[in-house]
Amino acid sequence: MLRPKKTKFKKYRKGLHKNIQKNISLLSSYKESSVLMSSLQFGRISAKQLQSCSSVVNKKIKKLGKWQSKIFPHFPITKKPKEVRMGKGKGFIDSWACKISPGCSLFEISGAKKENSFLALRLAGCKLPLKIKII
């Protein structure tokens, strides 16, 4: 499973996403021969969801193209066990996730056919809890 090797703090607070639409130019890092997936809303993607996306994309494009993930789960998600009383501090780290804002590029496929790339990213987008756009 994806997780960082080292973090500054052991546990983080949840924090808030501010509802500010960022005018990020997606085409600045966009190559003519690649297909890009970007998000259209705020959200959180877990490491399990990233793994399932990578397995779907790898099955579709096989060795014909190069798949690149632009995000990494560096944010810890904590949970307390069931039937534990309130208090006694924050729970243990359960999983890892990454925070996503609108306009953030998630995945890029280059070197494969356009039809296969679009199909692979569309199937990977079905595994994510966000609305996405494929460019």
Q: Is 58 contained in some domain?
A: yes
Q: Average pLDDT, stretch 6-34?
A: 70
Q: Is 31 contained in some domain?
A: no
Q: Average pLDDT, stretch 36-56?
A: 94
Q: Is 108 contained in some domain?
A: yes
Rounded distance between C-alpha atoms, residue 76 and residue 98, angstroms: 9
Q: Is 9 contained in some domain?
A: no
Structural domain tally of the chain? 1
Q: Is the predicted pLDDT of residue 6 greater than 50, yes or no?
A: yes
Structural domain containing residue 117: 44-80+90-134
Q: Is 17 contained in some domain?
A: no
Rounded distance between C-alpha atoms, residue 122 and residue 62, angstroms: 16
Q: What is the pLDDT of residue 23?
A: 47
Q: Is 121 contained in some domain?
A: yes
Report angle CA 120, 126, 130 to the nearest 5 degrees. Answer: 120
Q: Is 117 contained in some domain?
A: yes
Rounded distance between C-alpha atoms, residue 96 and residue 13, angstroms: 13
Predicted TM-score of the model (pTM): 0.85
Classified as helix, coil or strand, 94 is strand
CATH number for 98: 3.90.1170.10
Rounded distance between C-alpha atoms, residue 94 and residue 78, angstroms: 5
Q: Is 3 contained in some domain?
A: no
Q: What is the pLDDT of residue 18?
A: 65
118: amino acid identity, one letter: F
